[in-house]
């Protein structure tokens, strides 16, 4: 079991609503990445936060946004939910930025979002 | 740009038989390559990674993978399958040795028959 925790584990939202997912990174890690894993597919990179700043973004619309806090925990916010946003959302924490990058990214167990 | 192709979305093997999962990558920069395993309703666990130190990489649970630049491949093998190997396996590529901003393949689900 990694030190990365995500909450909630499951939730159901209605189309058009907004949702916030949370991730606590592993102790000592300063980088959090978020991924969307649709059913039967591989995870897709949404964005990464390093020291509270966005540090790279995948091919996702602006209604996907995030935050990273001084303790390096992170939130993923999705506005105007669509049915296709139903997926497992994974976060991964790692140590990055100017240091010898020999640490791996540790994944949380994910939040399963269902949009109805 | 980077991409990963995993050949075969499902693989069925008998317990004790060889497990071979295929992964081909495309990368415009020297790649770092990873294999992850995902058990039902869980996150991803790193099996092994290639970071240019050695082309044959040994990982956890008896898995290993060989990086072949000429074939742009990073196939995963295990000599003898165990029932506990039933899971989904993902190959991924990154420009970072730490595995940041990973690009994943579509995954291969492994079924192990007794």
pLDDT value for B100: 76
pLDDT value for B101: 86
For residue B83, pLDDT over 80 is answered with yes
Q: Which H helix or E strand runs over A32?
A: strand A31-37
pLDDT value for B37: 97
The CA-CA-CA angle for residues B47, B52, B53, to 5°, reads 85
* Average pLDDT for B5-34: 94
Query: Whole-angstrom Cα distance, residue A48 to residue A46?
Result: 7
pLDDT value for A87: 97
pLDDT value for A29: 87
Nearest to B106 among A42, A92, A104 (CB): A42
* Average pLDDT for B80-99: 90
Contact A76, A21 (CB under 8 A): yes
pLDDT value for B30: 81
Kindly state the tokens that stand for B13.
């093997």
Q: pLDDT-derived band of residue B1, with 50, 70 and 90 as boundaries? A: confident
Q: Per the CB < 8 Å rule, is B102 touching A43?
A: yes
Q: CA Rg, chain A, in Å?
A: 14
Phi then psi for residue B37, to 5 deg, are: -120, 145
Query: Whole-angstrom Cα distance, residue B76 to residue B48?
Result: 9
3-state helix/strand/coil string of B72-108: CEEEEEECCCCHHHCEEEEEEEECCCCCCCCEECCCE
User: How many Å lie between the alpha carbon of A95 and the closest alpha carbon of chain B?
Assistant: 8
Going from the first residue of chain A to its last (116 residues), give the mean pLDDT of each consecutive group of 10, the final group possibly shorter: 88 98 91 94 94 92 96 96 97 74 79 97
**Any chain B CB within 8 A of the CB of A105?**
yes
Chain B residues within 8 A of A105 when measuring between CB atoms: 46, 98-100, 102
**Any chain B CB within 8 A of the CB of A108?**
yes
Q: Which residues face A107 on adjacent strands?
A: A92
pLDDT value for B96: 75
Query: Whole-angstrom Cα distance, residue A25 to residue B51?
Result: 24
3-state helix/strand/coil string of A70-87: CCCCEEEEECCCCHHHCE
Query: Whole-angstrom Cα distance, residue A19 to residue A94?
Result: 24
Q: Say how many CB pairs under 8 Å bridge A and B.
A: 72
Share of chain B above pLDDT 90, in %: 78
pLDDT higher for A88 or B40? A88
* Average pLDDT for B40-68: 91
For residue B14, pLDDT over 90 is answered with yes
CA nearest to A32 within chain B: B100
**Looking at B2-6, B35-39, B86-90, B99-103, which range is the least confident one?**
B99-103
pLDDT value for B98: 66
For residue B85, pLDDT over 90 is answered with yes
Parallel, antiparallel, or unpaired: how do β-strands A53-57 and A44-50 relate?
antiparallel
pLDDT value for B19: 97
């Amino acid at each position: 079991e990694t030190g990365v925790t995500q909450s909630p584990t499951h939730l159901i939202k209605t189309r058009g609503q907004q949702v916030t997912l949370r991730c606590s990174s592993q102790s000592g890690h300063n980088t959090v990445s978020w991924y969307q894993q649709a059913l039967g597919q591989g995870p897709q990179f949404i964005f990464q936060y390093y020291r509270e700043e966005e540090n790279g973004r995948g091919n996702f619309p602006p209604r996907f946004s995030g935050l990273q806090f001084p303790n390096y925990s992170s939130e993923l916010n999705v506005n105007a939910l669509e049915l296709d946003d139903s997926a497992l959302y994974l976060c991964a924490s790692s140590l990055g930025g100017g240091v010898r990058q020999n640490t791996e990214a540790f994944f949380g167990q994910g939040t399963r979002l269902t949009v109805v | 740009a980077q991409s990963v192709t995993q050949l075969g979305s499902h693989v069925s093997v008998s317990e004790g038989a060889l497990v071979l999962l295929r992964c081909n990558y495309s990368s415009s920069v020297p790649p770092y390559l990873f294999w992850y395993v995902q058990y039902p309703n869980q996150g991803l666990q790193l099996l092994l990674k290639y970071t240019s130190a050695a082309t044959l990489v040994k990982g956890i649970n008896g898995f290993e993978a060989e990086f072949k630049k000429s074939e742009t491949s990073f196939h995963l093998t295990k000599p003898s399958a165990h029932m506990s190997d039933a899971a989904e396996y993902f190959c991924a590529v990154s420009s970072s040795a730490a595995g940041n901003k990973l690009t994943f393949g579509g995954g291969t689900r492994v079924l192990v028959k007794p």
